Amino acid sequence: MRAEGDGPLAVIAGGGALPLAIADAARAAGREVHLIGIRGEATDAIERYPHAWLKWGEVGKLFSTLELRRCRDLVIIGSVSRPDLGNIRLDLGAIRNLPRLLRLGIGGDDNMLSTLVRFFEDKGYRVLGAGDVAPELLAGEGKLGSKTPSEADLADIAVAFRVVAALGRLDVGQAAVVVNKRVLAVEAAEGTDAMLARCAEFRSGIQRRDLSGVLAKAPKPGQEERVDLPTIGPETVQKAAEAGLTGIAVATGRVLIADRAATIAAADRLGLFLIGQTLPPDA
Amino acid sequence: MRAEGDGPLAVIAGGGALPLAIADAARAAGREVHLIGIRGEATDAIERYPHAWLKWGEVGKLFSTLELRRCRDLVIIGSVSRPDLGNIRLDLGAIRNLPRLLRLGIGGDDNMLSTLVRFFEDKGYRVLGAGDVAPELLAGEGKLGSKTPSEADLADIAVAFRVVAALGRLDVGQAAVVVNKRVLAVEAAEGTDAMLARCAEFRSGIQRRDLSGVLAKAPKPGQEERVDLPTIGPETVQKAAEAGLTGIAVATGRVLIADRAATIAAADRLGLFLIGQTLPPDA
């Protein structure tokens, strides 16, 4: 663990397995951990750590919890649904910070997340990336499972990473699906799983026998990688298989693998390759 | 009608209202017309013109029909589903041209369509664009309906055209949806209607009261505009409304409007703006 600070590490936890993986890694490295679960997003499993629960909008409670637990370092991790703004009750701390919080809602994802990081930093907190705390959660270089991509797969991967880079420069998305060098789908706000589901639907009528194509995933150039690394997991592999793809390529060191063992096992079981590639610096 | 040739104009007709609109325009300009309907794609309404029907794969029959009717000029227009390659019976003419036809299936859409145009040109045919035969079907400049876009809408339009241009340079897609400067969806192989349907689904849970955002549509830079102009119609307007958008922007002179009167009427009835904008030459 690169980053040491005083007090426990606060993990602000959205959904999925990653918040606990981060907590486990930090504790294994000898650091005290305090989890702050977002109600409706984080799983109850966070309760096996010292924890608190927050609702969307309870910004004042968030800062009082961090204060009370003497946390100066924090990791923000896990999936979040876009909350229904009409149902959020703002607490006093939220209302005090309203102008900056409102700015979070405008512009692309990346703009929002950079603003979020600055929001915490301006208050004296240090925002760590998942990779700072648990580098072992990041995708490594080369083949991660047992299957090797073909020449045709490598050509599709190259096209897909080019598309993701171009989209990322516009703060659009982190993933694309390419089949025989043709871009089948591009991810914007819908998320990778939804994109893969539509590929599955789109391809179901066409050519089941002749499966091919890849999913590529990489952060946007200049993206705030501390709070929004692209993530894959066993479900991504499952959905890629259902979409008739032959494998998944991710940017080495810049994509999180939620539940690595299960993810690689799923890829091997379903016959998909899983590979990390180092992208050129401008990608 | 700019392009005059000898013999009747052949209209190779896919689905939708455009093939007949082209035929009507050509006949109104005093040219004889022969429609060649693709079975399963074109509507029976083409039968009010001299016509023939072809199945996918009947390439030999296509050329013998063009020969018989003494057509040297052709327009290829209308929507096509991607045919199930396994169910196509190739005729002798198709088998003779197989290497080139197979190349149509590789690479992006635009690559395919350029190859298709060259395929006809190499055989001595002249491929005309819809705009050559019926320029009145192309979107004009400025407000096409009665509603005017707001400043916020114009900002969303600018972002959306930037995204479409960037995607187009990679031969990906022709359309994007932007809401409050955030890119909600990007079109690849699924088509505009499917993209709008997913926006509708995506937004249904969030903020029904606060509708906003635009659909922008433009050809790809360098696209073969003779055979693949982006198209909007009354259904596009309907689906944009269902996705909670406030309007549609298209590239002036480079997007077809199928059934202009119905399209503008739908926009006015549903309260959406519809505007043509001239894009910078590199877009």
Q: Tell me if A166 and B171 make a contact (CB, 8 A cut-off).
A: no
pLDDT digits (tens, 9 = 90+) for B88-103: 677 777 777 777 766 6
Contacts of B106 (CB under 8 A, 6+ apart): A180, A181, A182, B112
Asked if the model's pLDDT at residue B2 lies above 50, the reply is: no
d(CA A199, CA B10) in angstroms, rounded, equals: 35
Query: What is the model's pLDDT at position B5?
Result: 54
Average pLDDT in chain B: 87
Kindly list the residues from chain B whose CB atom is less than 8 angstroms away from the CB atom of residue A173.
183, 186
CB contacts < 8 A, A to B, total 104
Q: Radius of gyration (Cα) for chain A, nearest Å?
A: 19
Query: What is the model's pLDDT at position B104?
Result: 63
Q: Radius of gyration (Cα) for chain B, nearest Å?
A: 19
The model's confidence at residue A1, banded by pLDDT at 50, 70 and 90, is very low
Q: Tell me if A189 and B202 make a contact (CB, 8 A cut-off).
A: yes
| Per-residue DSSP letter, B85 | G
Residues of B with CB under 8 A from a CB of A: 82, 84-86, 105-109, 162-163, 166-167, 169-173, 176-177, 180-190, 194, 198, 202, 205-207, 209
Which helix (H) or strand (E) is B59 found in, with range?
helix B59-68
Query: What is the model's pLDDT at position B129?
Result: 92
pLDDT digits (tens, 9 = 90+) for B55-85: 888 888 999 999 999 999 999 998 877 666 5
The residue among A3 and B131 whose pLDDT is bigger is: B131
Residue in B61, B48, B50, B53 with CA at minimum distance from that of residue B13? B53
Asked if the model's pLDDT at residue B233 lies above 50, the reply is: yes
CB-count burial class (<10 Å; 0-12, 13-18, 19+) for B268: middle
Which helix (H) or strand (E) is B164 found in, with range?
helix B151-169
d(CA A162, CA A155) in angstroms, rounded, equals: 11
Kindly list the residues from chain A whose CB atom is less than 8 angstroms away from the CB atom of residue B188.
176-177, 183-186
CA dihedral B1, B3, B5, B9 (to 10 degrees): -60
Query: What is the model's pLDDT at position B222?
Result: 76
Q: Residue A263's Cα: distance from chain center in Å?
A: 15
The SS3 call for residue A71 is: coil
Q: Tell me if A163 and B169 make a contact (CB, 8 A cut-off).
A: no
The model's confidence at residue A104, banded by pLDDT at 50, 70 and 90, is low
Mean pLDDT of A71-81: 88
Which helix (H) or strand (E) is B232 found in, with range?
strand B231-232
Reported residue count of chain A is: 283
Average pLDDT in chain A: 87
Mean pLDDT of B266-283: 89
Most confident of A221-225, B162-166, B263-267: B263-267
pLDDT digits (tens, 9 = 90+) for B158-206: 999 999 998 888 888 899 999 999 899 999 988 899 999 999 987 775 5
**What ipTM is given for this predicted complex?**
0.72
Q: Tell me if A185 and B190 make a contact (CB, 8 A cut-off).
A: yes
DSSP helix, strand, coil percent of chain A (3-state; round to 5) = 40, 20, 40
Asked if the model's pLDDT at residue A210 lies above 80, the reply is: no
Query: What is the model's pLDDT at position B1?
Result: 42
Residues of A with CB under 8 A from a CB of B: 82, 84-86, 105-109, 162-163, 166-167, 169-173, 176-177, 180-190, 194, 198, 202, 205-207, 209
